[in-house]
Amino acid sequence: MHLFASLAVFLAAATLGHWTFGPPAPTARSEVAVTAAAGKLYVIAGSGAGTVDQTHNEAYDPATRTWQERAPIPRGMNHIGATSLGGKIYTFGGFSQQNSAAVADAYVYDPATNRWSALTSLPRALGSPSVAALGDKIHIVGGRDTQSVTTHYVYDPARNTYTTAAALPHPRDHMALVAAQGKLYAIGGRFNTFAHNVSYNEEYDPATDRWQEKQPLPTARSGCAAALFNGRIFVIGGEYDGGVFTQNEAYDPSTGQWTTFGPLPEGRHGTGAAAIGASLYVPVGAPVNGGSRQSSSLAIFTE
């Protein structure tokens, strides 16, 4: 009886939560920037339709279940890092070629005016940097120029300036970076290629300017979507040398434990995730590893 009870608990845990599909995005893309601002989901730039420098900025409104084309980002790129703060969207870095030729561009988008403005460029060119807002600052961590780096910049929107913080303990790009409970969590990613995925979960405390190793990601992967949702850090999808992941694993900073939730209906990488209200949104992305195919789907997760 104990064995069957344990199995039942395991199966229940493996199917926690529920996925549905919303209206597909207007443009099939991967290697996009994804964030939420003013109650809408934004999918910015990326690769698609045989090009690696898409400028599309498409917004999804959960209230009306509709997509709208918004002002394009000034420079088309892939693997841009993005986050939202104070109702605006900030983007940093990217690649001007497919997964190569890093740039130092930085922009801010105001949904209220539908306008982009250039910011002070990054101190160095970086593609696939991981970006998250913490307090009134924005952290740009890791990424790659010609190889993975440990760089950690802190951008101050009030001053339009950068400072340098404690370096990431392990160099990597295509990494999840999520703020929770006043700290940052750098999870997964890879060293240079998806043949070298990692499972690191490193916590950054701005009060001490130090990183600390935490319970590792159960499934080592890169190119995954991640977001804070219902108090947990969800890490979804990703790619490896041979395919894409459907895994949906969530870390609870309060307990230091990981929980397995219901998997993505279809494997994805090169996308992002954003929580709006009671749902977690994972748009577009690639259903195969690399950049040969893109999707326009909108996967929606609820607990």
Residue 183 scores a pLDDT above 50: yes
CA distance from start to end of the chain: 29
Residue 180 has which token pair? Answer: 């929770």
Q: Which of 301, 147, 286 is nearest to 235 (CA)?
A: 301
Contact indicator for 141, 186 with CB cutoff of 8 Å: yes
Residue 114 scores a pLDDT above 90: yes
What's the rounded mean pLDDT across residues 102-119?
98
- List helix spans (H) across the chain: 2-14
CATH of domain 2-302: 2.120.10.80
Count the Cβ atoms, other than its own, within 10 Å of residue 295.
23
Residue 11 scores a pLDDT above 70: no
Name the helix (H) or strand (E) containing 291: none
Contact indicator for 206, 134 with CB cutoff of 8 Å: yes
Domain ranges of the chain: 2-302
| Amino acid identity at 20 | T
Residue 5 scores a pLDDT above 60: no
Q: How far apart are CA 103 and CA 97, in angstroms?
A: 10
Q: Rounded mean pLDDT of the chain?
A: 95
